[in-house]
């Protein structure tokens, strides 16, 4: 009977899942651009490189994408209300398509840099627009599961690059990869616009038609009326950057900016982007690209499982576990590389950094890769949530640019162990930040969370005792930007 009920539920929500899956092909596409560097940089740095790069140029190949991704939220913020969610997402993928074409036909480092810059714009636009679209098309009951598609599809894009890249040529990989954004564009053209956007533009009939398709129901008048009321409220309560600086929002801003910095400074950017180069330095039985593929599979599986854990365990325990795990993991890997540089015989323990990096990926993905986005959707009022999300994305992108640019330079000049010990030091320091400032929001209604953020001290917010409260909760993590 349970199977039959589940089958009925799937049929009921099938159009929403179809729209979400098709939409998140965009996340697969832009994440593939990011994962592309891992199998490609070793080839470009080799003696027989199809496009010779210096170590400094290779660091720019990684960091330019992160740098230009900062422009994405700015473009999306202007486009998304003026031209709609659907058109914004279709426009977001175009720079990525051009970027892959440039890699396929380009024969200079300058052209490669331009292609990476364009891919970064798509990356930033996708991550600041797709969560809004998913949040507006999904029913309350499945909003959480649809939200996880964003992360799962992004990790799938990285895995595909890791799995395909080592076995095909430099330009061949570009022509294969261009299929991802082209497929998204061709399929997403047929998907509906958000009913919320259409109601905001007084296109009520089209909004009702789209909602009927999404809900697979003929009568959606009650939900449409609720959407209309929400649209009217948002028109009268638009927030500005200045509103972020009042007492309660200021505390929330410090928390989310701190978590954004932690996501980057724990070393995730470097480990994902430079994984194959890192594994090249380790004495194990596996080839470097095989280790990278295993890492990407672990990341994908952990991301798929993390959504069910966060509402059972809570935000703070997962963040603390994740941060401590990242600190320990990067310290141990740094110690291995330090001993290796000191010419200590490590033949018998070459497997240690591989295992530790895999555990690091589990720790990072289960907490820092996902929980900050859930918290972002919970600790800000609705009228400033979009502003906070854009600011968070731009700030995290800025920090990520610094990490991805400096990692290669520090590793080349001082040793890989120095980079990993820097990551360990930042992670250890942020354990105190998470413990002292980040609130536990599990099981609390949004109204209660906002009241606590505006009135309670950090001690009131962070105590581990759980008060009894309403079971009503917004489980959505897709109102925020990942």
The string of pLDDT tens digits covering residues 246-260 is: 777 888 899 999 999
* Mean pLDDT in residue range 85-103: 96
pLDDT at 232 > cutoff 90: no
Measured CA to CA, the distance from residue 248 to residue 100 in angstroms comes to: 44
Measured CA to CA, the distance from residue 64 to residue 121 in angstroms comes to: 10
Q: Which residue has the higher pLDDT, 463 or 71?
A: 71
The pTM assigned to this predicted structure is 0.81
Q: Which residue has the higher pLDDT, 306 or 174?
A: 174
CA distances from 451 to 96, 375, 389 (A): 42, 15, 20
Q: Which residues contact 307 (CB under 8 A, 6 or more apart)?
A: 144, 145, 147, 148, 370, 477
pLDDT at 311 > cutoff 80: no
Measured CA to CA, the distance from residue 195 to residue 210 in angstroms comes to: 6
pLDDT tier, 223 (very low <50, low <70, confident <90, very high otherwise): confident
Decide: 77 and 169 in contact? Cβ < 8 Å.
no
Q: Which of 361, 339, 351, 356 is nearest to 286 (CA)?
A: 351
Q: Which residue has the higher pLDDT, 313 or 283?
A: 313
pLDDT at 421 > cutoff 60: yes
pLDDT at 468 > cutoff 60: no
Show the tokens assigned to 89.
């997402």
pLDDT tens sequence across 442-451: 777 667 877 8
Measured CA to CA, the distance from residue 228 to residue 248 in angstroms comes to: 28
Decide: 154 and 29 in contact? Cβ < 8 Å.
no
Decide: 303 and 365 in contact? Cβ < 8 Å.
yes
Looking at residue 473, its pLDDT comes to: 41
Q: Which of 392, 354, 362 is nearest to 376 (CA)?
A: 392
Show the tokens assigned to 348.
């018998």
pLDDT tens sequence across 347-385: 778 788 889 999 999 999 988 987 887 788 778 876 777
Phi-psi region of 149 (alpha: psi -120 to 50; beta: other; left: phi over 0): alpha
What percentage of residues in the chain have a pLDDT greater than 70? 88
CATH topology of domain 242-460: Growth Hormone; Chain: A; (1.20.1250)
Measured CA to CA, the distance from residue 31 to residue 303 in angstroms comes to: 14
- What is the rounded average pLDDT for all residues in the chain? 85
Residue found under tokens 């300058």: 110
Centre a 10 Å sphere on the Cβ of residue 83 and count the other Cβ atoms it contains: 13
Q: Which of 193, 75, 58 is nearest to 116 (CA)?
A: 58
Looking at residue 281, its pLDDT comes to: 79
Q: Looking at 68-77, 115-124, 222-231, which range is the least confident one? A: 222-231
* Mean pLDDT in residue range 311-331: 91
Q: Which CATH number does 14-191 carry? A: 1.20.1250.20
pLDDT at 472 > cutoff 60: no
* Mean pLDDT in residue range 290-315: 83
pLDDT at 310 > cutoff 90: no
* Mean pLDDT in residue range 134-158: 82
C-alpha angle 158-272-478 in degrees, rounded to nearest 5: 60
The ranges assigned to domains in the chain are: 14-191, 242-460
Q: Which residue has the higher pLDDT, 374 or 57?
A: 57
pLDDT at 465 > cutoff 60: no
Looking at residue 144, its pLDDT comes to: 63
Looking at residue 346, its pLDDT comes to: 74
Looking at residue 4, its pLDDT comes to: 52
Measured CA to CA, the distance from residue 458 to residue 130 in angstroms comes to: 32
pLDDT tier, 457 (very low <50, low <70, confident <90, very high otherwise): very low
* Mean pLDDT in residue range 433-459: 76
Looking at residue 394, its pLDDT comes to: 87
Looking at residue 431, its pLDDT comes to: 96
Looking at residue 240, its pLDDT comes to: 73
CA–chain centroid gap for 128, Å, is 10
* Mean pLDDT in residue range 14-40: 94
Consecutive H or E run containing 308: helix 288-313
Q: Which residues contact 172 (CB under 8 A, 6 or more apart)?
A: none
Decide: 50 and 43 in contact? Cβ < 8 Å.
yes
pLDDT tier, 482 (very low <50, low <70, confident <90, very high otherwise): very low
């Amino acid at each position: 009977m349970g199977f039959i009920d589940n089958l009925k539920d799937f049929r009921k929500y099938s159009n929403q899942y179809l729209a979400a899956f098709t939409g998140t092909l965009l996340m697969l596409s832009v994440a593939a651009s990011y994962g592309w560097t891992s199998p490609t940089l070793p080839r470009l740095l080799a003696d027989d490189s199809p496009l010779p790069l210096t170590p400094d140029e290779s660091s720019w190949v990684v960091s330019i994408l992160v740098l230009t991704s900062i422009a994405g939220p700015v473009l999306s913020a202007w486009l998304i209300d003026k031209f709609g969610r659907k058109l914004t997402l279709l426009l977001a993928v175009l720079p990525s398509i051009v970027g892959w074409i440039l890699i396929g036909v380009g024969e200079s480092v300058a052209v490669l840099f331009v292609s990476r810059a364009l891919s970064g714009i798509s990356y930033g636009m996708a991550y600041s627009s797709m969560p809004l679209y998913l949040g507006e098309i999904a029913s309350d009951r499945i909003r959480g599961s649809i939200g996880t598609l964003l992360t799962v599809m992004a990790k799938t894009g990285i895995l595909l690059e890791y799995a395909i890249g080592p076995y095909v040529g430099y330009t061949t990989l570009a022509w294969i990869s261009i299929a991802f954004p082209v497929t998204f564009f061709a399929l997403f053209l047929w998907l509906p616009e958000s009913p919320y956007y259409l109601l905001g533009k007084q296109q009520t009939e089209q909004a009702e038609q789209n909602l009927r398709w999404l809900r697979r129901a003929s009568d959606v008048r009650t939900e449409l009326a609720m959407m209309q009321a929400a649209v009217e409220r948002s028109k009268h309560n638009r927030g500005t950057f200045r509103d972020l600086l009042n007492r309660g929002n200021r505390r929330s801003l410090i928390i989310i900016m701190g978590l954004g910095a932690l996501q980057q400074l724990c070393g995730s950017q470097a480990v994902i982007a430079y994984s194959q180069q890192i594994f090249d330095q380790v004495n194990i039985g596996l080839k470097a690209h095989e280790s990278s593929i295993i890492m990407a599979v672990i990341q994908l599986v952990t991301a798929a499982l993390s959504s069910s854990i966060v509402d059972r365990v809570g935000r703070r325990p997962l963040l603390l576990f994740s941060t401590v795990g990242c600190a320990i993991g990067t310290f141990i890997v740094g110690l291995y590389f330090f001993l290796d540089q000191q010419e200590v015989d490590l033949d018998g323990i070459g497997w240690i950094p591989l295992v530790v990096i895999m555990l690091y990926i589990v720790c990072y993905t289960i907490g820092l890769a996902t929980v900050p986005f859930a918290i972002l959707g919970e600790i800000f009022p609705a009228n400033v949530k979009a502003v906070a999300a854009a600011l968070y994305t731009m700030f995290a992108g800025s920090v990520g640019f610094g990490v991805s640019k400096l990692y290669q330079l520090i590793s080349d000049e001082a040793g890989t162990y120095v980079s990993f010990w820097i990551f360990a030091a930042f992670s250890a320091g942020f354990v105190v930040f998470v413990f002292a400032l980040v609130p536990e929001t599990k099981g609390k209604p949004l109204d209660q969370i906002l009241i606590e953020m505006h009135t309670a001290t950090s001690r009131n917010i962070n105590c581990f005792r759980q008060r009894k409260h309403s079971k009503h909760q917004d489980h959505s993590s897709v109102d925020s930007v990942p």
